[in-house]
Amino acid sequence: TETGFPSWLAELTGRTDWPAQWALAPFVSGTGIDLSDVPDIPIRSQGTCPSSDACAFDCTQCAASDDVSSCSGFAQTFDDGPASTTTNLINNLNTKATFFTLGQNIISYPDIYRATLAKGHLMASHTWSHPFLPSLTNEQIAGELQWSIWAMQAAGGHVPKWFRPPYGGIDNRVRAIVRKFGMRSVLWNYDTNDWKLAGGDITPEEIFSQATSWIAQGPGVVLEHDIVAQNVEVGIELASSYFTDLVTVNECVGDSEYQ
């Protein structure tokens, strides 16, 4: 069942419904978010890079001092849910993972969101509708963050502390806005590329082979997805047969789960 539109949110926003799926969430001013001092870094499209001092992870793997891009243990992180496939994942994981959720999916699958939370997994933000954030205005970025946070509050009763930018699209302008919402950006140093499974461009065996080499290199943040059945099966196998010392993102750096 979809999450209804809570009365506290109607009062805050002056709206009566959630933003549309796959549409940019509108920024609601007057909510204590001041964008006047955001760094003046040019808007850019995906695949283009800013000047080097912008610290763009999607271009140069640059991470800021407060970003989480490595870990004291192995952290399985799953992007883009919740989805119907998430249920199989949480029913077969005996370890704790971090879920970077989309606001539009939270309101479509609030019961799965709450079930994931109830199993002790860490719930984190991944925007409302998965845009490439550096291509947006400051207000558009803020809107995507606002509505993701509000969806998490409506479904889970908490305010997220951890945020992952879609496509790894982040620079110092985006970071500055993320910080205004009290969140820390989470990147990764191990990418399973499990999204390529659906097109046959990578096999589960190739991912498992990668994981074996990562384990030899040392711990880190592992990028996975929970919205395709085959990805979920690979995630379950990685947790049960490959990774040990699995932790959540907040445990990577010894910080709290939520704000």
| Residue 158: active-site member | no
Catalytic residue selected from 79, 171, 194, 226: 79
Contacts of 249 by beta carbon, 8 Å cutoff, 6+ apart: 68, 71, 75, 77, 98, 122, 124, 162, 186, 221
Catalytic-residue membership of 191: no
Which residue in the list 121, 126, 130, 225 is annotated as catalytic?
225
How far is the first Cα of the chain from the last one, in angstroms, to the nearest whole number? Answer: 27
**DSSP strand pairing (221-225 vs 122-125):** unpaired
Residue found under tokens 């919402």: 181
Which residues make Cβ contacts (< 8 Å) with residue 131, sequence separation at least 6?
A: 24, 140, 144, 166
Distance CA 198, CA 41 (A): 36
Amino acid (one-letter) located at 253: V
Q: Looking at the annotation, which residues are catalytic?
A: 79, 225
